[in-house]
Structure 1
Amino acid sequence: MDENESRDDDSVDSDLVTRFMFHISRQPSETIIDDDARSVFGELRNRSNVMVRKSAHYPWLIDAVDNDHFVRFYHTYIQLLCNVSETDYLTKPINQCVSNFIKLQMLVWNVTDKVYTLCFKLTLKEIPYYLFELLKLPSLHPCVCLTETNARLLAHSSIGVLHNMINHVPNIRSVYRRSGGVRALLPFVTASLDGSPDVDPQCAVHYLSLRTAALLLLSFLVDEDENATLHTNDSYIVYLLTALSDALVPVNNYSTKYGYQAEELLVGLQNLAGPDKNKKALIKNDAMKHIQTALVVAYEMKFPYKPQDSTVKPAPFQSDPDALAEKALNFLWTLLFVPESHASLTPGSDFRRLVDKFGSDSTWSPSCRRVAQGIQWHLRTSMKVASGPSDMSDPIAGLMSRERRQRHRHGHLMISYQHSNKNVMIKVRDQLTELGYRIWMDVDYIRGSFIDAMAQGIQEASGLILGLSQAFKNSPHCRQEVKYAYHLGIPFFPLQLEPNFTADGWLGLLLAAIIYISVPDESAVPGAVLQLKEQLGDIGHISRAASEEAVEYSRLLSGGSLTHSFPGFPVRSDSSVTNPKRFSLSNLSAEKANRSPPPSEQNSNAVNLTPTDTNPLSLDARLGWVESSTKSSYAQLWTWKPEDVSRWLRQEGLSAYEQALATVNGPMLAELARLRLAAPESVSVSLFRDLGMSLVDQLRLYSALAKLTVHCSSTSQAIP
């Protein structure tokens, strides 16, 4: 029986498609009075409504719309409505031409929600321009939309299509702005419903959904100056938060009053939170509580309560808990860049524990976990990493940045981008690789811990290539990367992926004096990469890395390698030691260490720790461990035992790490001193990750190693 029903449905679908293809092969004016065209357009609209409501995917329906034939028909139909100088169909919108187009517009609205390829086709046909022209017509003024249902439906569906298009193709923001999108949308937001006694209360409720749509689309478009004009008070912020609260209901997470799902509202609120002024206003109006509620709802959807003896199946949810949680977490991460947000996420609080669950529980989607882990990374580093240029006045941060720039100019180049621009940035990566540059991109390197991989990618970079767009600026992930790289003193090389994009706000502050390279589309990548090569020079190039690493490796592993890292380390100067390929700490045995080399083999760089006229105390006496003795076993670091290292840790105020370093002996300590010079970033990451060593304790450890080096360097006689 089910098979027969399915076969009948397939037959109906095929018949619908055949009739639909016939009608879109005609001129729109020929379909206006055609009853069959009206019926077909209406049936396809209804099927698309079911597809969206069920979160389904109807290939036959999508194929019927996602093609050049339909796009041409749709393009011609919009022009027919916009060209009011010939026939003004919109003067009285209750007519068959407008009614048929509304059915088509609803169909396009539903399909563009699912299919990004249709959004690209519509963009290439300049549909955004014509839709904004439609919205500017007096016949669709907000006052008309309040009373005329067809006018409201036409305006709302047009804004819905535009919203879906920019969701899938964020870089068309510049097209929207050039088309006068901000000017077209503002009246729908600012129009007041007060003082209109003739307005049907039901129409006023429906108009709220139209206002919400306009406000959400504006959140993609406005710059910082326009935002200040739009948000002179918190009324729109309160309005959207109220809509979100209304949408956070069981089963479908949909607000019937405002006409939007919770996920859509969270994305709009995240866009609205771009300017830091808006972040503070959102937090002041309890955005953090709304986010916590959204996460609780997602958690309860994922793990619904059911008594053990219950035989009742929970009602199926019509929305995805992983998607809801991910969008709520992204909104939260965006708000964390202002300090007012941190009070809600103190360690041990219910909210903080809830966020931690999403980061550690493998039942949540990988993308959801990555956002939660990004929040954890932000909270861990918020007290250590500068939030802006003014914080770089801190002397320690400044010294670390200068050291970072000096030591790692030969590191790789890291690509930082927003995921919607992945394809073009992959092309940039490939062409830079062909030119001999070492490139780090997350798609190639993230296999284990997302946060560890990103942190290491930034720490070992010699430059950060930025894929600039409004979506990049609004992305908390991208802002976190840029913020951390700025703190480490890593230079930026921005590529302007969105035409006419100008960075403002926090991003504009960091890039104020840097020249952008324009990459409006993928065809511009080759020329942009050549310009980028001119800017980069040999930064991040394999030839530079190879030569500098060869020099560094040779210097560190030559006859004076250990005397450079730790000058008190006695080393022979014959070729068997100075050859870096043959040198190894494991080759140093106690027998060789106790044998005094003949004068011809003594290394003038090797020093002892015995008292001299200028250095009356040995190292042991300086540290107060033993009395000065020219034969002291402690005078040779490479004979230190673990208990000697423990004693040294206590002396230097590092006793908290005695247990963790209980097996470390003298040679291992010398190796740590060498690695501190050879790979300081990796050592720092390992100390933090494996030992939980704070920045202050790391500085204390490095200072202690440096003191040992100074003590050893102050003597000048060979060890007897």
Structure 2
Amino acid sequence: MIKISMITILHNFSYFYEPCIPIMRERGTISLARTLRLQAQDSGTSTDCLLIIAFLMNEADSKKLMKIADDELSYLISELEKSMLRAGASDYHPEEIIDGLNRIAVSDINKLKLIECGVLKLLSKSLNPVKSHTTVHRAAAAKAIWNLAFSEESREEIKAQKGLISALKSFKDSENKELRLAVSGALWQLEGKEKHLEEISVDVKEAEQKHIMLSYNHQAKTEVNKMKDLLKQRGFKVWIDHEQITAGGSTLEAMSTAIEDSCLVLIFFSEPYKNSINCRAEAEYVFERRKPFIPVQVQAGYTPEGWLGILFGSKFRYTLCKPDKYKTEVEGLLGKVKELASSQAQPVAAKDVPDGIIPASTTLPATTSPQLPSPSLPPLECESWSWQQTSEWLDDNKLGPIKDSLEDADGTMLAELAMLSYQHKDVFYTLICSKTGADLGCILRFSKALKKLT
């Protein structure tokens, strides 16, 4: 009984109190949950343990999880199916299990694995307007679909799921704000951002003075508000969601318009930011629109990973997490903002600066060691490939948008891109994004495939 109570407490902490997650992870709670799950004698305890793992895992943990835990995923999905049959059939409400699966799906490598285990059929049933599911249950399902839709392969699977798109659209104008936002986000990813913007009548206006947009997770609100006040004191026009989004307004419409009308975006990053699908939608839209941005760290000890790490590349990052250097960092950040905001009006040597990339400060902080030359790679096997072999390699890795832009490319060109990806990630990502029109998911797959060549 004591063991079961302890597991329940651990689950509640991981589910309801995100700030404790790094501490629990550091204390080995994932390993403990796995051990306890093997000793569990009832389905409720076993599900508790798996949900603890789901909420504590990060990008590195998920890679290990997926090598050994197909049965764990299948178990959670079977519990979800059981919970949807009737009240009391499971110890959990459907939305609680969906929330756990949704956290697992934050890592892009897990998205297709969940679909292969049958999650789409259940999410589709959750959104069936004929069924009498609760609004909270439907909102969780729509949010999960939105999360899954960040992967190109998953988007195709979702579109192929009979009746799912029409079910989403049936709740597009729901009176429930959470459900309406999740449905709107899912459709944003599934039907293409441009098309969806037209549907919700986004009117991008020419602003006399372009603003600086602040992109953040709500847990960093206090620190972000301080920065907002400092920017305003220095005469900058600032856009922040809680001041500009009116009650009843479309969050996606406001977000997209804010990005379009910005001269610069400050991304206040943390692990909760990386795990938030709302924040990912913002950050990817900034990237796709080639908007200049500055990463600002607001969680001590956190290193960007997964999609966020790829998006940042080797970009210079400011930190607001070191009390002894706080003033210096803030002054440096404000100076960089002034420099970049001014350059938007009269760009200097724009031909030398790729769109969307902000050059790091030419002066390294005193605590930073000088950068060593980038390591070189040995000759790559792909250098000898013909254009046909290169084309087949692109097909095998499902890189259609990349292939369309690399017509007649041979192994030599592919090797050059692999070298660029290895030595100059920020330039590589900007080049591929600007020249191919591929979405971030496709670019991530291309980068991963190139790593295998090296």
Coarse TM-score class (shorter-chain normalised): 0.5 to 0.7
What are the superposed Cα offsets for residues 36-84 of structure 1, whole Å, 9 maximum, x if unpaired?
Answer: xxxxxxxxxxxxxxxxxxxxxxxxxxxxxxxxxxxxxxxxxxxxxxxxx
**Structure 1's 345 and 187: CA in aligned 2 closer, same or farther, altered over 3 A?**
closer
**Structure 1's 514 and 292: CA in aligned 2 closer, same or farther, altered over 3 A?**
same
Equivalent in the alignment of 1:692: none
What are the superposed Cα offsets for residues 314-355 of structure 1, whole Å, 9 maximum, x if unpaired?
Answer: xxxxxxx22222211111101001123333554995211111
Equivalent in the alignment of 2:253: 452
- What is the TM-score of this pair, normalised by structure 1? 0.43
User: Which protein, 1 or 2, shows the higher relative CO under an 8 Å CA cutoff with sep ≥ 6?
Assistant: 2
Equivalent in the alignment of 1:173: 21
TM-fit CA distance, 1:413: 1.6
Equivalent in the alignment of 2:377: none
**Aligned pair partner of 2:123 in 269, 272, 291:** 291
Equivalent in the alignment of 1:593: none
Could you tell me whether the CA contact under 8 Å between 2:297 and 2:321 is conserved in 1? yes
Equivalent in the alignment of 2:266: 465
**Aligned pair partner of 2:179 in 365, 368, 381:** 368
Q: Which amino acid aligns with 2:146?
A: W
Could you tell me whether the CA contact under 8 Å between 2:82 and 2:89 is conserved in 1? yes
Tell me, what secondary structure is at the counterpart of 1:331? Answer: helix
- 2: CA distance, partners of 1:274 / 1:467: 19
Equivalent in the alignment of 2:213: 414
Equivalent in the alignment of 2:145: 332
Question: Is residue 2:50 matched to residue 1:210?
Answer: no
Could you tell me whether the CA contact under 8 Å between 2:318 and 2:333 is conserved in 1? yes
**Aligned pair partner of 2:286 in 474, 485, 496:** 485
Could you tell me whether the CA contact under 8 Å between 1:173 and 1:498 is conserved in 2? no
Question: Is residue 2:114 matched to residue 1:278?
Answer: no
Tell me, what secondary structure is at the counterpart of 2:294? Answer: strand
- 2: CA distance, partners of 1:276 / 1:163: 21
Give the aligned length: 336
**Aligned pair partner of 1:434 in 233, 257, 265:** 233
**Percentage of matched positions with identical amino acids:** 23
Tell me, what secondary structure is at the counterpart of 1:538? Answer: helix
TM-fit CA distance, 1:537: 2.8
**Alignment root-mean-square deviation, CA:** 3.4
- 2: CA distance, partners of 1:242 / 1:526: 52
- 2: CA distance, partners of 1:524 / 1:431: 17
Could you tell me whether the CA contact under 8 Å between 2:74 and 2:117 is conserved in 1? yes
TM-fit CA distance, 1:382: 5.7
Q: Which amino acid aligns with 2:13?
A: L
Equivalent in the alignment of 2:450: none
Could you tell me whether the CA contact under 8 Å between 1:323 and 1:368 is conserved in 2? yes
**Structure 1's 276 and 345: CA in aligned 2 closer, same or farther, altered over 3 A?**
closer
Could you tell me whether the CA contact under 8 Å between 2:11 and 2:48 is conserved in 1? yes
Tell me, what secondary structure is at the counterpart of 1:248? Answer: helix
Q: Which amino acid aligns with 2:77?
A: L
- 2: CA distance, partners of 1:450 / 1:472: 17
What does residue range 64-463 of structure 1 map to in structure 2 within 5 Å?
A: 150-164=1-15, 167-168=16-17, 170-189=18-37, 191=38, 204-205=41-42, 208-233=43-68, 234-250=70-86, 252=87, 255-256=89-90, 259-296=91-128, 300-301=131-132, 321-346=134-159, 350-361=163-174, 363=175, 365-381=176-192, 411-447=210-246, 448-463=249-264
Q: Which amino acid aligns with 1:260?
A: Y
Tell me, what secondary structure is at the counterpart of 1:514? Answer: coil
**Structure 1's 290 and 155: CA in aligned 2 closer, same or farther, altered over 3 A?**
same
Tell me, what secondary structure is at the counterpart of 2:182? Answer: helix
**Structure 1's 245 and 513: CA in aligned 2 closer, same or farther, altered over 3 A?**
same
Could you tell me whether the CA contact under 8 Å between 2:8 and 2:48 is conserved in 1? no
Q: Which amino acid aligns with 1:414?
A: M
Q: Which amino acid aligns with 2:269?
A: L
TM-fit CA distance, 1:412: 1.7
- 2: CA distance, partners of 1:214 / 1:521: 35
Give the greater-gyration-radius structure (CA): 1
- Structure 2 segments unaligned to the other structure (5+ residues): 197-205, 347-436, 438-454
Could you tell me whether the CA contact under 8 Å between 1:424 and 1:521 is conserved in 2? no
Q: Which amino acid aligns with 1:466?
A: I
**Structure 1's 521 and 457: CA in aligned 2 closer, same or farther, altered over 3 A?**
farther
Could you tell me whether the CA contact under 8 Å between 2:146 and 2:187 is conserved in 1? no
TM-fit CA distance, 1:255: 4.5
What are the superposed Cα offsets for residues 193-232 of structure 1, whole Å, 9 maximum, x if unpaired?
Answer: 6xxxxxxxxx722xx3223222222223223222111221
What does residue range 291-690 of structure 1 map to in structure 2 within 5 Å?
A: 291-296=123-128, 300-301=131-132, 321-346=134-159, 350-361=163-174, 363=175, 365-381=176-192, 411-447=210-246, 448-520=249-321, 529-540=330-341
- 2: CA distance, partners of 1:524 / 1:160: 36
Tell me, what secondary structure is at the counterpart of 1:368? Answer: helix
